[in-house]
Chains A and B, each alone.
Chain A
Amino acid sequence: MTALLTQNVFWIITIVKVVLLLVIVLTVDAYLTWFERKVVAHIQSRWGPHRVGPHGLLQPAADGLKFLFKEDPTPAGVDRFAYYLAPFLALALSLTALAVIPFGPKPIVLFGQKIYLWIANPDIGLLILFAITALSVYGVALAGWASNSKYSLLGGLRGSAQMISYELSLTMSVVGVLLMANTFSLQGIIEAQANAKHGIGILGWNIFAWTHQGLFWPQIIGFICFFTSAMAETDRAPFDLPEAESELVAGFHTEYASFKFAMFFIAEYTAMITVSCLATILFFGGWLSPFPQSSFWLWQLTHYIPSVTLIPFGLWVIYDGIKYETIFGKLILPGVGAAMVAIGAALIAFPAVNEFIQPVFWFTAKVFVFLFFYVWARGTLPRLRYDQLMNVGWKLLLPVSIANVIVTALVILLRRYR
């Protein structure tokens, strides 16, 4: 038994990592729906969910239970294989894309085994991500067609045409970053932004791309093209005509009930998380801190930023919990706040753990900022009409991203040969 364990340690570690990642991502998905409903509600001057649990925090659990217990009808005349395949395909592909995302640079050393903070780090990580994104068009197309319904077919065709149009500008807008990093692997792209010799922090990120070597071309246009294309690729507002409620009932997932609809839902939010992770890795330095990593005392102080954010926030949650209306809230919220304060204090007490948590904290913070952008855009911007959408994709974003590639290549060439 132990011989079996010691020979296949790599597989056991990988399976544990996969299970852990799935659990974490599904929980984050659930609370992302809560976060979105709260933020969109506050943008629209209302409260959002605030009855189910303190501040509506148990709303995702209630939604999950509802999805599990709802009736699951299958409409007549559907193509059975494609109808049942489409939500599985969408969900499986969305979750698979998370396998190549690196969450931190240093490995955890446990029992003499180095456990890295990613599931796989292939040399062509970015290409694999794009391949999985390319395949996820089938979830939408098959769902729309197999449902044997006018609205679904229209929504499915529009959605898949939109996705393949914006895939082009998505991949082209990233080529500038690839030219600067010289590698397809996501961990290599972050390392290329680290500028380890000079340690310049935020200025070294690809969005500013400042280098000591002379000419540089900040990838701002690339980032704007990338984020807009990604918003259209994941069918999110303001590009969500295929699933718009007032236009097409519910678009390609009209005929899907309870759990199959939940699968599409989870697939969409997981795609949001994947795209936010990609945006931070490619353009905003991944896990790199915005402050330079030298031994100057000011920059060393910034290592305490995780604690400095956690402890006051925890204290505020405790204060809010003590004054909350329901008894349940009076019990849970101070508990959550106390846990946050304890974690913040532990980070100050154990500097080794603090050093390890630094990259993960910055990565999570940046991903959170991008998720907030996503939700903010949904709450603020009106929907684009379908022909406007296709015009933006083909006539605006594609030429601009190609021009960005050409300029980046020119700048790198001039820098090398001047």
Chain B
Amino acid sequence: MCLAVPVRIVSIDGDEAETEIAGVRRRVSIVFTPEAKLGDYVLLHTGYAIGVIDEAEAEETLKLLEEIASLSEVH
């Protein structure tokens, strides 16, 4: 089961958090990510945050992906 989408935490209320992505807001359970803080990105799966996205790693990967994209001759 894989569909999980990165969303950003805008407010926390106990076990739940209000999240936002590109203007879409959604209330999620953060029972599996008690360490999540305001402003963190979490992976949302069927109403629950299943993990906090590591920003440093995300940036590293983004750099790598951009490198690949620029090398690609496709477009």
A interacts with B: no
Q: Which residues of A approach B to under 8 Å, CB–CB? A: none
